[in-house]
Amino acid sequence: MFNIVDSGERLFDNGLVPILVLIILLVLIVIALILVYWFVAAQSGKTGGKKKKKKPGKDRATLLKQANRQLAANPRDHEALLTLADAYYEDQAWDKAMKTYGILVGLCATNQAIEEWYVTMRYGLAALQLKIAEEAYKSLMVARTLKDDQFDINTNLGYLEYRRGNHERAAQLLNQALQEQPDHAATRRNLGRALFKLARFADSARHLKAVIDQDPSDKESLFFLAQALQELGRTDQALKIFNHLRPDPVLGPHSALYAGSIRQNKREMEKAILDFELGLRHEEIRDEVELELRYRLADAYSKQQELSKALTQLSEIYKKNPAYKDVTARISQMRELHSNRNLQTYLIASNAEFTALCRRMVMTFFKNATIKVVDIVVHKNEYADVLTEVETAQWEDVILFRFIRGTGQVGELVVRDLNARLKETRAGRGFCVTAGSFSETAIFFVEARLIDLVDKEKLLDIFNRLD
């Protein structure tokens, strides 16, 4: 009878069992290697384009030489073309890369082995490097329809959308790209700027600050951050940055303009003047920035009652652009102010000097009368209400004067408000005085009321009486 145990012992003694075990192990290892290879190949298909497979053991020079030989035999050999295109791209030979990728794009319709999204993207990126923006935009748009989750497509297309003024679309693309590569500074920088243009200042400031933390030398991002902080009402922080950027040859003039404007709004006229003057000292200034620097400097000088200096700046603006804002009217006004001290005090002097002039003026309205100033209320820097008690030989009454500091047209709302003040103060009569004029509706409103309107012409007569 056949004995299984004895047979097994004979096999083991003959060394057959260890050989079988070894063969089984080798088979398992081969299967495992095949599975790993398939996994790696699958992952490569998900994350990258289909490039020319490099044969092991061949260096770059050999591959390029072989590619040129293949193209000599077949100019439409897509693998050889891809090898050359990628080499040109890596060497930053953008014109050659764009041309070669362009050939591959043309072959995509008849050759499904070419990864269309990849060669179209590379064609667009090479065009972008060559500053052919329109061609780059079209190609990247096509590439995105083929693959919408690729970082290089989204970040560069987002940048182009930003340049084209499509800020909402740019923000969407750049935000998607940033999700894929959160540490990519250029993407975050462009996203911060797009959000600024969309008036999303808090989000913009957050991204721009992260960019600056990563690269403190990025002055353009710092400039955008300062603007965002100003819009958020954090003017002290914004002013600190603008002051830091004032010496910069490129951003300096604009930064000085912003810094001076902040100080001007704070009524810090001397510091504002210094900012504007520093901005104008730069050799390279864009015309629109220079004109605005001079315009605001003239305004600051006029508020300091340095009228000759204000006229100089306005005249410089007029030489370059006579139609800039209201510069023609401002020059005329400044010349008039320069020649009439009372008008100068009325319009641009301090509130203390202005109210002192108003006190003097009320004394000229009634002859042979005793006039007592009861109260003066100054509303910001816009007008002053002077309440008086007037007594003559024939009558006595409470009279309210409103002196408006401006050269524009006074409308109905102002005289309506004055009429309400008359009732509050129980004044029997009112005078509304301006260095400008009155609208037709304002004139119509006071026709049936005890309010007299005094325009610029009558005001100048009062000044003459004072002199």
Return the HEC string of 68-118. HHHHHHCCCCHHHHHHHHHHHHHCCCHHHHHHHHHHHHHHCCCCCCCCHHH
79 in Cβ contact with 52 (< 8 Å): yes
pLDDT of residue 213: 95
DSSP state of 407: S
Q: CATH number of the domain at 234-339, please?
A: 1.25.40.10
CA 249 to chain centre: 19
The whole-angstrom separation of Cα 272 and Cα 199 is: 26
Give the gyration radius of the chain's Cα atoms.
40
Domain segments of the chain as ranges:
234-339, 350-466
Hey, what are 136's tokens?
A: 């780059």
The position carrying tokens 């009325």 is 346
Instruction: Provide DSSP, 208-264.
Output: HHHHHHH-TT-HHHHHHHHHHHHHTT-HHHHHHHHHHHTT-TTTHHHHHHHHHHHHH
Report the CATH fold assignment for 350-466. Trna Endonuclease; Chain: A, domain 1 (3.40.1350)
- Are the folds of 234-339 and 350-466 the same? no
Residue 179 makes CB contacts below 8 A (sequence gap 6+) with none
pLDDT of residue 32: 72
398 in Cβ contact with 387 (< 8 Å): yes
To which H or E segment does residue 202 belong? helix 201-214
Hey, what are 139's tokens?
A: 């190609």
Q: What does the longest C-alpha to C-alpha distance in the chain come to?
A: 159
102 in Cβ contact with 95 (< 8 Å): no
Cross-strand bridge partners of residue 279? none
pLDDT of residue 381: 84
Phi/psi-derived region of residue 239, left when phi > 0, alpha when psi is between -120 and 50, beta in every other case: alpha
Helices 252-265 & 219-231 angle (0-180, nearest 10): 20
Q: Per-10-residue mean pLDDT for the chain, 467 residues long?
A: 42 54 70 67 46 52 86 90 93 95 94 95 97 96 96 97 97 97 96 97 97 95 97 97 96 97 95 97 95 96 90 95 93 87 90 94 93 93 94 94 93 95 95 95 93 95 89
Q: How far is the CA of 41 from the CAs of 44, 50, 80, 261, in angstroms? A: 5, 11, 21, 61
* Nearest alpha carbon to residue 172 among 189, 185, 158: 158
pLDDT of residue 40: 55
The whole-angstrom separation of Cα 362 and Cα 359 is: 6
Cross-strand bridge partners of residue 384? 378, 403
Indicate the SS3 state at residue 23. Answer: helix
pLDDT of residue 355: 94
The whole-angstrom separation of Cα 356 and Cα 376 is: 10
Indicate the SS3 state at residue 329. Answer: helix
Buried b / exposed e across 322-349, counting CB within 10 Å, b at 16+? Answer: eebeebeebbebbebbeebebbbbbbbb
